[in-house]
Structure 1
Amino acid sequence: MKFGENWTDYQGGKNWEGLLDPLDENLRSEIIRYGHFVEAAYRSCDFDQSSPSYATCRYTKRKLLKETGFSDTGYRVTKYLTATSGIQLPGWAERGPPWMAVQSSWIGYVAVCQDREEISRLGRRDVVIALRGTATGLEWLENLRATLTPLSGSDSGSGSDTEPMVESGFLSLYTSSVGNRRSLQSMVREEIGRVLDKYGDEPLSFTFTGHSLGAALATLAAYDIKRSFVNSPLVTVISFAGPRAGNWRFRCGLEEQGTKVLRIVNSDDVITKVPGFAGWVQKLVEDTQWVYADVGCELRLSSRDSPDLNGISIATCHELKTYLHLVNGFVGSNCPFKATARKMILAECPIEKR
């Protein structure tokens, strides 16, 4: 059977049943393909703190995928995405280095598959929403705001037992707008609405993918889009190294609305274990609204299973290129790593620790 004829299986239509252990070769290719879209987001962002264009995109939409080394995807970038922090800095911080006070930064893009051969291979027109991880000072500060808050944005103390709750810092980066700086939420909604108006009569999929902070924001955005567009097609999240984003009710909400989440985790990566309680303590109390919960299906990898990654640091365990290398070599729980796996060579890019 051709890939396109059962594409919904690879997008999580059946929760990836029978595809994760051992890892199906088609699914492996899809995970790596979406990882490359995230890699393009990293390579496109100006991380030079001395640059006047710091935290902006280095390329035009037309050239982004070509300049980052992924020109043969068959996709076209249609929308740039920025995230704005809701944190108000004290005066002394605003008088410091300019990079410290960057409130709104380029964080990713939307790309729509336009190549007819690729659409035929995929079995539908796919739309990718790719998000990078933490880069700016205010993004780091938002990461530290680990208290749970209702998705409504109200005071966390007023949340009910059935209210979906998410990390306040992630929610701030998704929903905040300052002056003429629009929120990430409004930009994603606008572009998804435009795509649905233009291509809604075709077989269509929305794939949110991100690394670390980008993985958490991708999960929030997918939940929001499925809630905002009740007749939307299949919505899938391919999450690399994502921290926990919300509570058990948020997890249940994702499941109830039919959003599919594949969470790719390196067992040696501490970021995937935070925020929230760990181990047996979490299992005892995760049915309460105040505890973080994992979401979706999980593909669990381990740096220790790769002969090429012996002795790597905690920081390296979290890098996107490490995750793609592990996916490329993973076989299954009984034989976790290909003995002859081809080591993926990816250009160095600035990678955050969260």
Structure 2
Amino acid sequence: MRFSSGNICKSKCNILFMTKQHMRLVLPISKCFKLSKLGARRFKITSSWNPGIGHCCVANRAVAGLRDRWMEFQGIKNWEGLLDPLDDDLRKEILRYGEFIEAAYCCFDFDMSSPTYATCLYPKSSMLSDCGLDKTGYKVVKNLYATCVVQMPRWTKKTFPNLASPRSSWIGYVAVCDDEQEIARLGRRDVVIAYRGTATSSEWLENFRATLTCLPDDMTTSDENYDQPMVQSGLLNLYTTNTQCDQSLQDTIREEIGKIVDKYSDEALSITITGHSLGAALATLTACDITTKFSNAPIVSVVSFGGPRVGNKSFRCQLEKSGTNVLRIVNPDDPITKVPGFVIDNDIDDMAEKGTTHMASTGMPSWLQKCMEDTQWVYAEVGKELRLSSKDLCPQIINKGNIATCHDLKTYLHLVDNFVKVEHNRETH
């Protein structure tokens, strides 16, 4: 794995690494982030379209590259040839979508003592600008809420009344690119659905409901060649549960996407769903729902960071058959990406591509594999994986066992910002 602008060192697993620091120099993660332009808590999204830019020829080539290749960057060819080495234009797009997630975190009220706990701090009309993201070319058109159905212990009602009350929590937003210059730069009108990660205790409890459950009929395609698609129970509950006062996240998404698809049916359109942690899993489930519900859906892509597993092998097959493009950015030092459940895969090549968190089923009796699948704990990885290890760029955070930092969205964006390529050492041992 190679990182930009630095020296080369060799890892124990016989892979070359390039970092901004000498091998002998180890910095705390806070200092490592200062090396990156993305070191701030809130990242500023700025369009590369700039009529006053000095190096106009270079800028024009960059704009043309994005405008002409946007389908490739949205995964129409499964990101073939773009990840190793990481294409610079794709890197910018990944970072741009990551910054939309940062805005979702910035907008959320984390103060449990506040009467506005678990809501959005800013009005929809000024949400992005209030987060310091006033030059995106996007306009927020819908707030998104998810509802937890987990019953909290009785003592929480007196100690934390806001926590125990059954209500929906703000979890993200839908934004549409409405700036003509940005549309020209992107080559199409882009719709972003951005989800934050786990923030409330109820959501944590939903995360622990990790057994698989069948997708409802209106989220599946009729195909007798596949077993029933299944996803994590708690995740599905978050997506489909409504209350007397609030519609479900699923209903909100379907309603808003239906309006957008109808309104811009005569334009080049893309839907990009992005999220971190729980939001990454929700992004994948949302993409599945959109491509299943809307036969006239445009290109639907997922750019996820540090997401847990979502569903079983049949769920993965449904995603692939529907043409949903999923790019998962994974830090192998982040334990969240290795849960829930375990993975059995009959495809050896696929296992090698997905990593070391899989259980080989080669030689396993079919009855034993069936028994394991019946436990409703057998998951399957989905989409294309971009693996970026924090151990390679800033090993001190691993040495100290800083799991939270490994999972932090800031860590992921920093790794994407510095990653160049994976280069295997030719030396033999």
Fold shared, TM-score > 0.5 on shorter chain = yes
Report the CA distance between 1:2 and its aligned residue: 2.7
Match of 1:239 among 292, 304, 313: 304
Report the CA distance between 1:280 and its aligned residue: 7.0
CA distance in 1, matches of 2:256, 2:235: 20
Per-residue CA deviations over 1:306-326 (Å, capped at 9, x if unaligned) read 148654611100000000000
2:85 is aligned to 22
Match of 2:108 among 22, 39, 45: 45
> Does structure 2 conserve the Cα–Cα contact (< 8 Å) formed by 1:99 and 1:136?
no
Q: Tell me whether 190-199 or 34-43 shows the greater mean CA deviation.
A: 190-199
- 1:319 is the counterpart of 2:384: no
> Does structure 1 conserve the Cα–Cα contact (< 8 Å) formed by 2:338 and 2:357?
no
What letter corresponds to residue 383 of structure 2 in structure 1? Answer: G
Gapped runs of 5+ residues in structure 2? 1-63, 219-223, 344-355, 362-368
Gapped runs of 5+ residues in structure 1? 155-159, 337-354
Q: Secondary structure at the match of 1:63?
A: helix
2:392 is aligned to 305
CA distance in 2, matches of 1:315, 1:280: 20
Match of 1:119 among 156, 161, 183: 183
Q: Structure 1 residues 192 and 280, CA, compared in 2 at 3 Å: closer, same or farther?
A: closer
CA distance in 2, matches of 1:280, 1:210: 22
> Does structure 1 conserve the Cα–Cα contact (< 8 Å) formed by 2:287 and 2:301?
yes
Q: Structure 1 residues 13 and 256, CA, compared in 2 at 3 Å: closer, same or farther?
A: same
Query: Which is higher, the Rg of structure 1 or of structure 2?
Result: 2
Percent sequence identity over matched residues? 58
2:359 is aligned to 282
1:190 is aligned to 255
Q: Structure 1 residues 281 and 203, CA, compared in 2 at 3 Å: closer, same or farther?
A: closer
Q: Structure 1 residues 153 and 104, CA, compared in 2 at 3 Å: closer, same or farther?
A: farther
What letter corresponds to residue 331 of structure 1 in structure 2? Answer: V
Match of 1:293 among 361, 366, 380: 380
In angstroms, what is the RMSD of aligned CA positions?
A: 2.1
> Does structure 1 conserve the Cα–Cα contact (< 8 Å) formed by 2:308 and 2:340?
yes
- 1:165 is the counterpart of 2:230: yes
What letter corresponds to residue 45 of structure 1 in structure 2? Answer: F
- 1:329 is the counterpart of 2:422: no
> Does structure 1 conserve the Cα–Cα contact (< 8 Å) formed by 2:115 and 2:162?
no
CA distance in 1, matches of 2:290, 2:106: 26
What letter corresponds to residue 76 of structure 2 in structure 1? Answer: G
**Pairing of 1:21-170 with structure 2 (within 5 A):** 21-102=84-165, 103-152=167-216, 162-170=227-235
Q: Give the number of equivalent residue pairs.
A: 331
What letter corresponds to residue 232 of structure 2 in structure 1? Answer: E
Report the CA distance between 1:99 and its aligned residue: 3.5
Q: Return the structure number with greater relative CO, CA threshold 8 A, min gap 6.
A: 2
CA distance in 2, matches of 1:288, 1:262: 26
CA distance in 2, matches of 1:123, 1:105: 34
2:266 is aligned to 201
Per-residue CA deviations over 1:268-296 (Å, capped at 9, x if unaligned) read 00000000116576332599574111100
Q: Secondary structure at the match of 1:118?
A: helix
> Does structure 2 conserve the Cα–Cα contact (< 8 Å) formed by 1:265 and 1:299?
yes
What letter corresponds to residue 385 of structure 2 in structure 1? Answer: E
CA distance in 1, matches of 2:152, 2:414: 39
Q: Structure 1 residues 124 and 3, CA, compared in 2 at 3 Å: closer, same or farther?
A: same
> Does structure 2 conserve the Cα–Cα contact (< 8 Å) formed by 1:44 and 1:64?
yes
What letter corresponds to residue 69 of structure 1 in structure 2? Answer: G
1:344 is aligned to none
> Does structure 2 conserve the Cα–Cα contact (< 8 Å) formed by 1:99 and 1:137?
no
Q: Secondary structure at the match of 1:4?
A: helix
Q: Tell me whether 80-89 or 205-214 shows the greater mean CA deviation.
A: 80-89
- 1:265 is the counterpart of 2:265: no
Q: Structure 1 residues 127 and 44, CA, compared in 2 at 3 Å: closer, same or farther?
A: same
CA distance in 2, matches of 1:266, 1:232: 31
CA distance in 2, matches of 1:242, 1:325: 17
- 1:224 is the counterpart of 2:313: no
Per-residue CA deviations over 1:160-197 (Å, capped at 9, x if unaligned) read 96111000000000000121121000111111011012
CA distance in 1, matches of 2:396, 2:75: 30
1:347 is aligned to none
